[in-house]
Amino acid sequence: MLADLSTYSLRDFLLFDETIYRGLFGQLNAAFWPMAAVAILLAVALLVFRRRRPGVADRGVAALLATAFAISAALFFFGVYETVNFAAVYPGWGFVLEAGLLLVAVFLLPNTGGSSSAPASASPGRTGVWLAVALVVYALFGHPLAGFAAGRASADLEWFALAPAPTALAALGFLGGWRSRWRFALIVVPVVWLLLDALTLYGLELMPEAVALLVATGFGVIAALVPRRSSFVETAADLGRSGMGDPAEPVRPLRQARRQGHGTRPRSGTTGLLPTTSAQ
């Protein structure tokens, strides 16, 4: 039996054709489109709000993403996808796990400040931040448009919080703006699904969509891996411009903070895990 595996092509593992696969999203959208609309509005609002109160906004993002992953698991994987693919439950449980981890991030991470050794004011830098923002915008709007450009009917487009791919892409984007090293744990499920989805699209011979998804995923991984800068001199200006920190709160150089007896621990109300230096 194992020897037979070498005779299989990727297409042999797909139980459905491209029309039916695309139609799954049509079924989702027809029944649940208001959820996607609300989720997208919330995501945009949080993206804008982040410039003013990044700590609060990031907790809101984690909560929104947790909800989106849970909805996607319930309605896509355990819902429409399972009707044509009995293996859909496996990535479905992956999304449930991700929802759980994000929920933990909402409630526990703000209280575990100091678990990250990165200085509280470290940021991905301007380039990394803009890459993350761009990926979020792509997930919310660009990904559906890319599907339309590739020939999908408008009814069958994939939308954030319903379809798993834009949900995973949005997660990569938001997490790419995080300072905390927890982002590495939280990007695993999204990256795994995006690679599986790209393989599925490749197997269905939907090459433009597969390539677009792979490229976006690559940018998401890069955004997460961009080193967080520990230089305070440049960081303050960057934080102010990027909205990653509170522009009204001056960021003191580490050496100065130590001289003044503040040590290296984040100030009260701040965390080493959420990308903020302001009290919450």
Partner 1 sequence: MANDTPFPRRTLLKGSAAIALSSLGLPAFAQAPVSSVLKKTVPSSGVELPVVGMGTWITFNVGNNREALAECTAVMKAFFASGGQMIDSSPMYGSSQATVGYGLEQLGKPEGLFPADKVWTSDVSEGAGQIEATRDHWGVDRFGVMQVHNLLGWEGHLDTLQAMKEEGRIGHIGITTSHGRRHGEVAAIMESRPIDFVQLTYNIADREPEERLLPLAKERGIAVIANRPFRRGGLISATQGQPLPGFATEIGAETWPKFLLKFIVSHPSLTVAIPATRSVAHVEENMAAARGPMPDEAMRRKMAAHFDSL
Q: How many residues does the chain have?
A: 280
Report the distance separating Cα 105 and Cα 237, nearest Å: 28
Q: Binding segment for partner 1 among 1-9, 67-75, 174-182, 264-272 (CB under 8 A)?
A: 1-9
Please list, in sequence order, all residues whose beta carbon lies within 8 angstroms of the beta carbon of residue 61, skipping any fewer than 6 positions away: 43, 46, 50, 174
Q: Based on CB atoms, which residue is closest to partner 1, 2 or 233?
A: 2
19 touching partner 1, by CB under 8 A: yes
Tokens found for residue 108: 């526990």
Shortest spacing between CB 247 and partner 1, in angstroms: 51
Alpha helices in 141-264 (DSSP H): 143-149, 164-176, 182-186, 188-203, 207-225, 232-242, 254-259
CB of 15 vs partner 1, minimal distance in Å: 4
Q: Which of residues 223-262 bind partner 1 (CB under 8 A)?
A: none
Q: What would the two tokens of residue 44 be?
A: 């945009």
Over its C-alpha atoms, the chain yields an Rg (Å, rounded) of: 20
User: How distant is the alpha carbon of residue 221 from its chain centre?
Assistant: 10
54 residue type, one letter: P
CB 91 within 8 A of CB 196: yes
Q: Which of 63, 74, 84, 221 binds partner 1 (CB under 8 A)?
A: 84
d(CA 229, CA 82): 44
Q: Which of 13, 45, 52, 83 binds partner 1 (CB under 8 A)?
A: 83
Q: Which stretch binds partner 1 (CB under 8 A): 80-88, 137-145, 163-171, 224-232?
A: 80-88
Of 157, 190, 178, 207, the C-alpha closest to 10 is: 207
Nearest distance in Å: CB 189, partner 1: 24
203 binds partner 1 (CB under 8 A): no
Q: Is 268 in the site for partner 1 (CB under 8 A)?
A: no
- Under rule CB under 8 A, residue 16 binds partner 1: yes
- Of 64, 270, 95, which is closest to residue 197 (Cα–Cα)? 95
4 counts as binding partner 1 under rule CB under 8 A:
yes
Contact map string, positions 34 to 73, toward partner 1, x by CB under 8 A: ----------------------------------------
- Determine which residue in the list 29, 67, 72, 85 makes contact with partner 1, applying CB under 8 A: 85
Extract the tokens encoding 158: 């994939």
CB of 241 to partner 1, least distance (A): 49
Which residues of the chain form contacts with partner 1 (CB under 8 A)?
A: 4, 7-8, 11-12, 14-17, 19-20, 23-24, 27, 80, 83-86
